[in-house]
């Protein structure tokens, strides 16, 4: 992703273009599912240094504007990605917490039908598939 795209993306979302926002989105575009710590590392590479608070602010603003999605697998730190608003799901490793994207197999929200919706107008099912990644799995001969 090149800088002008990120500038446009920020403006379209109604966000002022700042160096940390630009660097944050650029870096996150190439490193999906990054933790705050990792995003700070990425932004600092571009800007020299950046405070953790600034990175939190960038991610909060971009998440609120729908440009970034925050996922928070239970027991693991929150992670962020630029792939927002498309109802994709995640597989998460129980051991190392690494998430991978999984396209929704149904493509209509919510992609699961509850046995009883209690009259709620349902718009989303939060789906996380838990398992063990190749690095931690015992099946060394499994598919790559
Ligand atoms: Zn793992
Ligand atoms: Zn994802």
Nearest ligand to the C-alpha atom of residue 73: 2
Q: Is residue 1 very low, low, confident or very high in pLDDT (cuts 50, 70, 90)?
A: very low
CA 105 vs CA 10, 78, 88, 125, 133: distances in Å = 30, 24, 9, 13, 21
Strand, coil or helix: what is 56? helix
pTM for this entry = 0.86
Å from CA of 35 to ligand 2 middle: 12
Question: Which tens digits make up the pLDDT trace of 91-137?
Answer: 999 999 999 999 998 888 888 999 999 999 999 898 999 999 998 77
Q: What is the mean pLDDT of the chain?
A: 91
Unique residue bearing structure tokens 């939190």: 56
Nearest ligand to the C-alpha atom of residue 133: 1
Å from CA of 73 to ligand 1 middle: 13
Å from CA of 137 to ligand 1 middle: 8
Å from CA of 112 to ligand 2 middle: 18
H helices of 19-128, where? Answer: 19-30, 36-47, 52-64
Å from CA of 103 to ligand 2 middle: 9
Question: Which tens digits make up the pLDDT trace of 41-83?
Answer: 999 999 999 999 999 999 999 999 999 999 999 999 999 999 9
Cβ atoms of residues 65 and 134 within 8 Å:
no
Å from CA of 16 to ligand 2 middle: 25
């Amino acid at each position: 992703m090149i800088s002008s795209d990120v500038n446009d993306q920020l403006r379209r979302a109604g966000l002022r273009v700042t160096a940390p926002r630009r660097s944050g989105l650029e870096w996150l575009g190439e490193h999906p599912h990054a933790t705050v710590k990792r995003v700070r590392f990425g932004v600092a590479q571009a800007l020299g240094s950046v405070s953790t608070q600034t990175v939190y602010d960038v991610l909060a603003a971009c998440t609120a504007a729908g440009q970034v999605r925050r996922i928070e697998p239970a027991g693991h730190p929150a992670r962020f990605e630029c792939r927002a608003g498309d109802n994709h799901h995640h597989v998460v490793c129980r051991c190392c917490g690494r998430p991978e994207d999984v396209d929704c197999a149904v493509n209509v929200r919510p992609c699961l039908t509850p046995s009883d919706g209690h009259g709620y107008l349902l718009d989303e099912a939060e789906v996380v598939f838990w398992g063990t990644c190749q690095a931690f799995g015992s099946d060394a001969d499994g598919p790559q």
